[in-house]
Amino acid sequence: MTSVADNLKQLLAELPEGVRLVAVSKFHPAGMIAEAYQAGQRIFGESKVQEMTAKYEALPKDIHWHFIGHLQTNKVKYIVPYVALIHGIDSYKLLAEVDKQAAKAGRVVDCLLQIHVAQEETKFGFSPDECREMLAAGAWKSLAHVRLCGLMGMASNTDDVEQIGREFRLLNELFHELKSTSFDGSEAFRELSMGMSHDYHEAIAAGSTLVRVGSKIFGERVYN
């Protein structure tokens, strides 16, 4: 078995400049995160509020915690005090709740809008049109405690690399469209979070700036 540090090193060597790694540590113990931390990794991704908060409390405070899962509005308050980036904003209501809790915490929280581009029904996110409409409506502009930094998406879970490539390119086109139509080309709108262990090569080829890789670093997850 290769070590977490070796896996990390190999993966980082493959990432071109401008692409950052979110090491997805969900379902893995804090000890494995500490191993990756020792090897220099600082950005970790988690998908459950309670699990991320417990790890935040147990681990060094200079870790950047990215929330990559489906976030329920009633749990926003638990992560807002410390979260570095929320990848999965999939409704205006959720964005408004993050804003409200961030105001209470005296913070501005960075967020990505999750877009549904995969063919599966189960994945969360705005459709491209829903996202265009939400941004065009403009209410988000008065939310002073959130900052929209880009888009996040998942490709279909398939071996068809052509399809995966098409879905990621669609996301990239939407990103550039929205950047000019809704963000005036602002550099604050800069992140395209796409790519996991099995498809990060395709994601990078399609313009990803943040890959979210778990099993390739930490091994298979045991769900229970």
Ligand X SMILES: *Cc1c(COP(=O)(O)O)cnc(C)c1O
Binding site for ligand X (CB under 6 A): 24, 26, 47, 68-69, 154, 196-198, 212-216
What SS3 class is residue 173?
Answer: helix
Least Å distance between CB 88 and ligand X? 7
Query: Hey, is 21 helix, strand or coil?
Result: strand
Distance CA 23, CA 5 (A): 12
118 CB neighbour count, 10 Å cutoff: 18
Which one, 147 or 216, has the nearer CB to ligand X? 216
Whichever of 150 and 214 has its CB closer to ligand X, that residue is 214
- 163 versus 197: smaller Cβ distance to ligand X: 197
- Are 3 and 35 in contact, with CB atoms under 8 Å apart? yes
Where do runs of H (alpha helix) occur along 59-206? 76-79, 92-105, 128-137, 161-181, 200-205
**Cβ closest to ligand X, residue 128 vs residue 214:** 214
Which lies closer to ligand X via its Cβ, residue 7 or residue 182?
Answer: 7
Q: Which residue is nearest to ligand X (CB)?
A: 214
Minimum distance, C-beta of residue 170 to ligand X, in the bound complex (Å): 17
Quick check: 183 and 148 in contact, CB under 8 A?
A: yes
Question: In the bound complex, what is the minimum distance in angstroms from residue 128's beta carbon to ligand X?
Answer: 18
- Give me the least distance between CB of 215 and ligand X, in Å please: 4
Q: How far is the CB of 60 from ligand X (least distance, A)?
A: 22
Gyration radius (Cα) of the chain, Å:
17
